[in-house]
Structure formats: C-alpha cells, structure tokens
C-alpha cells in the first residue's frame, strides 16, 4: 500500500528532454521509458525489460528505428510495447509486452498517466499556457528533491516563507505580514491563495528584472491544481499604477510573471521539482533571461536544501508527532485535505489509504 | 474518481479574487487582526483563531441538524454515502 495518488496526470519531463535517445524517469514509483518515434511522437512505457528486468534506458540498450532493443539479451519492442523479437528462437511469448502509459505533450511538458488507463482523460490536465505562448519568455529547470512531495506542496502554498528562507532574493517583510485570502474548490481539487501587497519593497528578483526602482504593488495569486500543478500569477507594478481593466483584464503598465511548478512524486520520499518562470516583458533581453534563470534556480535550491533537511528530521521523529498551524497555513491545510481525499478515493475499495 | 472536469482556468494573470461560486469555500484573514473568517459555499460564516479548527468546521458544515445545504449542489459527494 502506498500513498501515491495514481489516477492523475503528472509531468514526467519537459518535451525538450525527450528525443531519439532512451530517457527514463520514475513517476509514482514506476520507472518510465520515454522516447520519440521517427515521426516525433512521444511514447511512454515501462523501463524494465520483461525478460530479466534490465533497464531499457541503460546502455547498450538502444533505439533501432521505432523499436527498442534491450541491451542485455536483445529482446526487441515496438512503440506499442509489444515484443517483436527475442534471441535464438522464432516464437515470441504472447505475454511479452511492456506496459505503456497514456502520454500527452502540452504547454512544453510531457504528461503521463500511471493509474488505470480507462480513467486517463486528457481534459483533466491542468494548463500552463504561458510556457508555450508567443510574447512570453520562459526559463525553466528541474531539481531532484529528497523529500516527499507533500513537503513541497506545503512550501509552495505558504509563501510567507519567502521572507525568511529567501530574504534578499524574493522575500521582503511585507510578504509575511500581508493577510491572505484562501479559496477551495473541492470538486475541482483547486486551492487558491491570494496575497495582494499594496505598497511593498521590491525584492532584487523583480527590481533587477523589471528595472523598477521604487516601491511596488505586488500581487501573488496562487492556483494549486492538486496534486500535480502549481501556478503563481505574480503581478508587479510601481505603486500608483492603475489596476487591470475591468472589462478585458488588460494591464499594460504592470509586469507579469507566471511561476509554474510541476510536482511529481518519484518515490515515497523523493520528488521531481519542475520549475519554470515565464514573463511578458523584456522578451528578447538575454541579461534578464539569464538573471531570472540564475535567481530562480538559487531560490528553488534554497527550498530543496531546506526540505531535504526537513525530510530527514521528520523521518527521525516518533510516530504521531505534533505540528502547530497558524493563519499562514490555511492554504497548505486545504491542500493537505484535498490530497488526503484524492488518496482515499484512489485507494482500492476496502483498503484504507495510508496517510503520511 | 469523482472529479468531473477541470474548471475554467484563467488564461492570463488573475486580476481580482473571484466571487464565491457554487461549491467554493473561502477563508479571509481579517485585516488588522489575527482572526480568520470562514465562509461556507452556503454562505454561512464563522470566525476562528485556529485554521485546523476552521477546516474541521468548514468541512463538516452544516453538521447533523441543520438544513443549510438543502437544495444546494454539493461540491463533493457526501462522504458517508456508499
Ligand atoms: S533482460 Fe532484456 S533481453 Fe534479457
Ligand atoms: Fe520557497
Ligand atoms: Zn455550509
């Protein structure tokens, strides 16, 4: 029994990571082999040969046209996972096939579905259109996290930690001081947390990238689509800038940054931390691009270091340890409740889901 | 799986907080105080000091002997029904 919520779409990779080279990433404990056919389609299948479980992503395993050849004894598979050849004999055992996974390429991500195939509905995939949209410039990366994914969810839903963990980068005193509004849409499994700072210091992350020198209006609108996608709509404008137009939302005098995280459980205790930052200003400015890439990666790594340590500390705790929650945790608690419900619903009937 | 479909997602930065819609529960941190105001989707409100107690109340609303949710579309299936 695991705590994975399997009947969900998860980001397995950026589309740019998957090509004509065998590539592997573990999602919810399942090693997934990803590659592109000659026509450019992404395929996702088990990364374990049915013969002796050799990883197909491991050299000398290789692609031969649209077939995967196991590097250990040569079992050969088509893009549909079916074994088409085994060494030394003509008869291929009927059961020789690799599990394949539904896969969708969208918004620069490769999404996979690890759970029950009949439930894999593409319309359930949450969108992050800025990552692949004209007029927006994107920097992105992925950091391995040695912590359960729930710790990253807690972290991202409470941005008051920016003031302490990321002071001097994205944190300023106003973040921790400003009250939040939390909204929960249970049926859609979405949590929204809004923090609108009317008059705040401009942290270096935004001062350097936008060129704003004085104080700013800073809006943070979080939209967490449990369990897999986190969006932070960030609006930055000099104090006094008019708010977005009521009619069409146009907002020409403000700077917009869309921060996207895909949160993908790798194993029970490790997580793929995909991060991307899209902006609608200075699109061609390489200096801004480099600065945002470096700064955001620095900030993500500050979280990774902290959460890795926290995971170790939690593992050393006795069962049933206590936490204490305060107002800033309202959004994080909402997310935990939703994740717990999704886990319960996804558990086989009669088997209680294991909370962790 | 009971999740029907994803809601309409904003295609640009979100401008203002949305009005509470059907099935949406909201919690306001009351400015200038340490208190939280929970608003159920049925519009019943209550103030709290502790977000854990708040969630216990909000998720259990309307409790056993109130008819506050009669006639409303519930945001999720009744937990105890089979
Ligand atoms: S393990 Fe793959 S062919 Fe033997
Ligand atoms: Fe952080
Ligand atoms: Zn109610």
Instruction: State residue B63's pLDDT score.
Output: 77
Distance from CA of A337 to the nearest CA of B (A): 9
CB burial of residue A16 (10 Å; 0-12, 13-18, 19+): exposed
DSSP label of A48: B
Instruction: Give the mean pLDDT of A246-261.
Output: 96
Q: Do A124 and B55 touch (CB under 8 A)?
A: no
Is this prediction's ipTM beyond 0.90?
no
Q: Are residues A152 and A171 both part of a single domain?
A: yes
**Residue that is last in its domain, among A97, A123, A149:** A123
**Residue that is last in its domain, among A89, A123, A157:** A123
Check whether B66 has a pLDDT greater than 90: no
Residue A351's alpha-carbon distances to A72, A310, A319, in angstroms, are 39, 29, 21
The answer to whether A230 touches A263, Cβ cutoff 8 Å, is yes
Q: Which of B66 and A301 is assigned the larger pLDDT? A: A301
The answer to whether A126 touches A8, Cβ cutoff 8 Å, is no
Instruction: Give the mean pLDDT of B55-62.
Output: 89
**Residue that is last in its domain, among A123, A148, A164:** A123
The b-or-e profile of A109-135 (16+ CB within 10 A means b, else e) is: bbbbbbbeeeebeeebbbebbbbebee
Q: What lines the ligand 1 site, CB under 6 Å?
A: A 49, 51-52, 54, 70, 72-75
Q: Which residues pair with A145 in a beta bridge?
A: A271
CA A132, chain centre distance (Å):
16
**pLDDT tens track for A230-244:** 999 999 999 999 999
Q: Are residues A92 and A186 both part of a single domain?
A: no
Which domain range does residue A294 map to? Answer: 130-317+324-346
The answer to whether A21 touches A13, Cβ cutoff 8 Å, is no
Check whether A9 has a pLDDT greater than 50: yes
**pLDDT tens track for A195-210:** 999 999 999 999 999 9
Pick from A55, A295, A327: nearest CA to A166: A295
A334 is written with which tokens? 């909402």
Q: Are residues A229 and A141 both part of a single domain?
A: yes
**Distance between Cα A257 and ligand 2 center (Å):** 16
Q: What's the predicted TM-score (pTM) here?
A: 0.89
Q: Does A78 touch chain B (CB under 8 A)?
A: no
Instruction: State residue B70's pLDDT score.
Output: 76
Q: Does B14 touch chain A (CB under 8 A)?
A: yes
Task: Specify the 3-state DSSP secondary structure of A273.
Answer: strand
């Amino acid at each position: 029994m695991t705590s994975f919520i399997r009947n969900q779409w998860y980001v397995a990779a950026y589309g740019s990571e998957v090509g004509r080279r065998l590539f592997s990433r573990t999602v919810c404990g399942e090693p997934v082999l990803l590659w592109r056919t000659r026509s450019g389609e992404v395929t996702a299948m088990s990364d374990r040969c049915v013969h002796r479980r050799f990883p197909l992503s491991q050299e000398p395993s290789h692609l031969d046209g649209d077939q995967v050849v196991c590097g250990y004894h040569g079992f050969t598979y088509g893009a549909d996972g079916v074994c088409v050849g085994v060494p030394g004999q003509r008869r291929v055992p009927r059961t020789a096939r690799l599990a394949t996974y539904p896969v969708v390429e969208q918004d620069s991500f490769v999404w996979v579905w690890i759970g029950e195939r009949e439930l894999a509905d593409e319309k359930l995939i949450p969108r992050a259109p800025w990552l692949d949209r004209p007029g927006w410039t994107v920097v992105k990366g992925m950091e391995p996290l040695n912590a359960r994914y729930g710790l990253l969810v807690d972290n991202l839903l409470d941005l008051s930690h920016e003031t302490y963990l990321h002071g001097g980068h994205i944190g300023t005193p106003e973040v921790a001081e400003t009250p939040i509004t939390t909204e929960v849409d249970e049926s859609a499994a979405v949590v929204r947390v809004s923090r609108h700072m009317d008059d705040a210091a401009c942290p270096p992350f935004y001062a350097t990238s936008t060129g704003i020198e004085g104080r700013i209006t800073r809006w943070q609108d979080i939209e967490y689509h449990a369990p897999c996608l986190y969006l932070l709509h960030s609006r930055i404008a000099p104090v006094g800038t008019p708010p977005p137009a009521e009619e069409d939302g146009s907002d020409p005098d403000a700077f917009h940054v869309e921060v996207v995280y895909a949160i993908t459980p790798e194993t029970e205790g490790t997580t793929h931390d995909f991060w991307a930052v899209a902006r609608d200003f200075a699109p061609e400015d390489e200096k801004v691009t480099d600065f945002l890439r470096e700064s955001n990666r620095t900030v993500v790594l500050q979280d990774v270091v902290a959460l890795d340590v926290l995971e170790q500390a939690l593992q050393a705790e006795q069962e049933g340890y206590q936490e204490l929650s305060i107002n800033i945790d309202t959004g994080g608690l909402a997310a935990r409740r939703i994740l717990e419900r999704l886990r319960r619903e996804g558990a086989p009937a009669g088997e209680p889901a294991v909370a962790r | 799986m009971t999740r029907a479909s994803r809601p309409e997602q904003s295609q640009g930065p979100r401008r203002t907080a949305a009005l509470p819609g059907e099935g949406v529960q909201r919690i306001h941190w009351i400015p200038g105080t340490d208190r939280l105001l929970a608003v159920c989707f049925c519009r019943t409100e209550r103030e709290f000091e502790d977000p854990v107690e708040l969630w216990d109340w909000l998720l259990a609303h309307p409790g056993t002997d109130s008819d506050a949710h009669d006639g409303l579309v519930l945001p999720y299936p009744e937990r105890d029904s089979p």
